[in-house]
């Protein structure tokens, strides 16, 4: 049957050339669009997302007129008042804050592990950082406030850092960084600065309230309270500590930064998807029109087939199979291109399978009604007039 359909298509190749080329382009563009979309989904679901729900950042913009000690004392006083007023909310010092300028200002440095240099993102956090951002702990534990007995400092490393360094048993490993010796006490899945970028090698250094209060900022996980009310109270308490109008804070919701990154990506994907959708619709109309015209032009052929014994179901099957075979042939260039430009990962193969299913469904529906009209031909009446 397939060989017969291929022969029919070859004999009428002039009529099918336009639709064939159109479907080749549709399949390639649709494949690229779906691959792009699936890659964004894969990156979004990749390890390293931090929980930013009901989380705000506080940052003192101007500290030039204050000494670090003065800033530290005022920030500690501010934090103490907010903790007393909102005991269920959690305040953490440090710079784990994700989605801040896409991470372009995140500190990066080379960390040496077993004579291997690794370009690493450097973060700092206290024991409350786990409750505020909830990074996924894979091994060991987060900072507990207790230091190793040998006098070294605790250190958290990411899974990507372990992969780059080749460490198989990281817990308890000594790492020299700067003028300090650190002991790895925990492994996290990663930290992402952008929802759609993969995690890179990362370490988190420990800090304490006194050390980082002078840094001029902290993050808050607001629990059992209204965010707007909390922000208003935070600003009022800030003004009591920093009455100078030149001292201005940044107080912002981190979730809004994440939403902004997501919307930007959605717009980017939509700019690809909308033209592809229009192309798919026009290709559907073109294929439908072609088979509609052919069903009229080949009316006598179909009537003769039915007169010599073909059933109505057989005629429907013939027309639909013509459409499916043309679509399968049109997908071959795209499949060959896919083999050259994409890796054979389960995700990419699944995406390609979805694209093939869309094209086959497209071919099925574009030929269904013309096939149905063919099955309704009256052989005697048609051949009589022919």
- For the stretch 291-326, pLDDT in tens is 777 666 666 666 666 566 666 667 777 777 777 888
State phi, psi for 79 to the nearest 5 degrees: -65, -40
213 close to 76: Cβ distance less than 8 angstroms: yes
Same domain, 154 and 270: no
Please check whether residue 346 lies inside any domain of the structure: yes
Residue 29 phi, psi (nearest 5): -65, -40
Please report, rounded to a whole number, the percentage of residues in the chain having pLDDT higher than 70: 82
Over residues 90-100, the mean pLDDT reads: 86
Residue 221 has pLDDT above 70, yes or no: yes
Q: How many CB atoms lie within 10 A of CB 162?
A: 20
d(CA 146, CA 35): 47
Do 104 and 27 belong together in one domain? no
Question: Would you say residue 90 lies in a domain?
Answer: no
- Beta-carbon neighbour count of residue 143 at 10 Å? 24
End residue of a domain, out of 213, 233, 252: 213
Which residue has 């007023």 as its token pair? 85
With respect to residue 323, please indicate whether it lies within any of the assigned structural domains: yes
Q: What is the pLDDT of residue 268?
A: 82
Do the domain assignments include residue 74?
no
Same domain, 36 and 115: no
Q: What pLDDT sits at residue 287?
A: 73
pLDDT of 84 > 90? The answer is yes
Examine the domain organization and report whether 203 and 315 are in the same domain: no
How many Å apart are CA 285 and CA 280, to the nearest integer? 9
Asked if 275 and 360 sit in the same domain, the reply is yes
Q: Which domain holds residue 22?
A: 1-46+261-385
The pLDDT value recorded for residue 319 is 74
Reduced to 3 states (helix: H, G, I; strand: E, B; else coil), residue 1 is coil
Same-domain status, 205 and 288? no
Q: What angle do CA 66, 71, 76 make, to 5 degrees?
A: 165
Same domain, 269 and 332: yes
Contact 280, 352 (CB under 8 A): no
Domain annotation covers residue 92: no
Q: Is the pLDDT of residue 83 over 90?
A: yes
Number of domains composing the chain: 2
- Same domain for 109 and 196, yes or no, is yes
Q: Are residues 372 and 270 in the same domain?
A: yes
For all residues of the chain together, what is the average pLDDT?
A: 82
273 and 209 co-located in one domain: no
273 found inside a domain: yes
Residues 291, 364 within the same domain: yes
Last residue of a domain, one of 147, 179, 213: 213
Per-residue pLDDT reduced to its tens digit, 335-360: 888 888 777 888 888 888 888 888 88
With respect to residue 250, please indicate whether it lies within any of the assigned structural domains: no
For 164, phi then psi, to 5°, come to -70, -35
- Name the pTM for this structure: 0.76
Taking residues 6-10, report their average pLDDT. Answer: 60
Last residue within a domain, chosen from 178, 196, 213: 213
Collapsing DSSP to helix, strand or coil, 48 comes out as: coil
Q: Give the highest mean pLDDT range of 16-20, 82-86, 114-118, 307-311.
A: 82-86
Structure tokens at 165: 């360094």
Rounded average pLDDT over 126-147: 90
In a domain, 300, yes or no: yes
Same domain, 108 and 201: yes
pLDDT of 365 strictly over 60: yes
The closest alpha carbon to 377, from 270, 322, 303, 286, belongs to 303
- Asked whether the beta carbons of 366 and 284 are under 8 A apart, the reply is yes
């Amino acid at each position: 049957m397939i060989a017969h359909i291929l022969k029919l298509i070859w004999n009428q190749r002039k009529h099918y050339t336009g639709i064939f080329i159109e479907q080749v382009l549709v399949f390639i563009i649709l494949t690229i669009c779906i691959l792009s979309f699936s890659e964004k989904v894969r990156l979004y679901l990749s390890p390293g997302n931090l929980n930013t729900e009901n989380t705000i950042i506080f940052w003192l913009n101007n500290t030039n007129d204050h000494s670090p000690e003065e800033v530290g004392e005022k920030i500690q006083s501010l934090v103490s008042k907010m903790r007393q007023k909102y005991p269920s909310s959690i305040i953490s010092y440090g710079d784990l804050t994700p989605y801040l300028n896409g991470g372009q200002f995140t500190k990066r440095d080379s960390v040496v592990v077993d004579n291997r240099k690794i370009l690493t993102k450097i973060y700092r956090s206290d024991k409350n950082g786990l409750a505020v951002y909830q990074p996924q702990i894979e091994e060991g534990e987060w900072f507990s406030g207790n230091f190793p007995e040998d006098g070294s400092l605790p250190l958290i490393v990411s899974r990507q850092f372990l992969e780059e360094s080749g460490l198989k048993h990281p817990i308890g490993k000594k790492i020299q960084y700067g003028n300090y010796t650190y002991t790895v006490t925990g492994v996290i899945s990663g930290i992402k600065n952008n929802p759609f970028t993969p995690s890179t090698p990362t370490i988190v250094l420990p800090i304490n309230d006194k050390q980082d209060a002078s840094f001029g900022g902290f993050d808050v996980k607001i629990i059992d309270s209204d965010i707007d009310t909390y922000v208003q109270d935070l600003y009022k308490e800030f003004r009591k500590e920093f009455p100078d109008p030149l001292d201005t804070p940044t107080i912002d919701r981190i979730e809004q930064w994440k939403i902004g990154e997501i919307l930007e990506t959605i717009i980017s994907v939509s700019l690809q998807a909308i033209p592809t959708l229009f192309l798919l619709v026009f290709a559907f109309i073109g294929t439908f029109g072609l088979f509609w015209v052919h069903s009229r032009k080949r009316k006598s052929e179909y009537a003769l087939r039915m007169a010599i014994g073909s059933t109505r179901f057989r005629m429907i099957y013939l027309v639909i199979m013509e459409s499916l075979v043309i679509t399968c042939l049109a997908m071959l260039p795209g499949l060959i291109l896919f083999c050259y430009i994409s890796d054979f990962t389960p995700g990419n193969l699944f995406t390609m399978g979805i694209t093939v299913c869309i094209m086959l469904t497209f071919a099925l529906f574009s030929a269904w009604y013309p096939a149905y009209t063919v099955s309704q031909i009256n052989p005697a009446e048609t051949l009589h007039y022919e």
